[in-house]
Amino acid sequence: MCTKRPSGPFFFGGSQHWSSTDWTSSDDRVRGGSSQSHLTINDDTNTATFHGNLDIKTLGGAGFASQHTASTTDLWDLSSYAGLELSIPKSDGHTYTLNLRDELQDPRPDGRQRSGLVWEAKFKVEKGQTKVKLGWREFRPTYRGREVHMGRPLILAGVKQFGIMIRSFFGEQEGDFELEIEWIRGIKKEKDRYRDDPNDFEDHEEYYDEKHFSDDQESKGLGWLCCW
């Protein structure tokens, strides 16, 4: 039986407090690697810091570290949004991915999560940038880190897992990493907004017009064998 989580616009942070018990690690150590990740919560600022060490030597140039929501019964309905936006007060210039799953397999006998379809959107926070917007078309279906061609889209009304990941991209990045996240929220669809309302003083940055999103902006799959 699924437990419906708040329908937003804030899914983590903002009006929803971060909690370390909501998240768990999934690093390449499950495949014999040495990378490790942590999610540290600052209750004073209501922020979460994804940090750790990305090792590529143990697995010969490959490696990944990730945190994902721990519950197997939570359910998020993202269908009323055009994508997701992240507020990033601090980053280190590495490339990260935000991951979504709409189905979870039963765990292995040893308790490890089984591989399954994951929709991934990669992003890099440039210098001076504090917000990242990811439209749904930027989330690419992958299996074990490699992009696959699917006959169905992500079931936005039935998302069962969020995740944040860093991977080596076969030796392109390694070492210590740190990404501070203030919040993750849904981006309102342009059609849901009454633009001529003189009393509308909301932050215009949270709106997203999918018509202006070109194919050239779509993420390219950067695959690597992982446990997602």
pLDDT above 80 (res 124): yes
pLDDT at 222: 36
pLDDT at 8: 77
pLDDT at 177: 98
Virtual torsion, Cα 121, 122, 127, 129, nearest 10 deg: 0
pLDDT at 144: 81
Domain boundaries, the chain: 3-211
Q: Which residue has the tokens 């001529």?
A: 196
pLDDT at 15: 95
Amino acid letter, residue 52: G
Lowest mean pLDDT among 108-117, 122-131, 188-197: 188-197
Structure tokens at 129: 């940038």
pLDDT at 204: 43
pLDDT above 70 (res 209): no
Residue 45 and residue 227: Cα distance in Å, rounded?
32
pLDDT at 194: 43
Residue 181 and residue 87: Cα distance in Å, rounded?
6
CATH class of 3-211: mainly beta
Q: How far, rounded to the nearest angstrom, does the alpha carbon of residue 198 sit from its chain's CA centroid?
A: 35
User: What's the mean pLDDT in 166-174?
Assistant: 94
Q: How far, rounded to the nearest angstrom, does the alpha carbon of residue 86 sit from its chain's CA centroid?
A: 9
Confidence of residue 208 (pLDDT cuts 50, 70, 90): very low
Confidence of residue 110 (pLDDT cuts 50, 70, 90): low
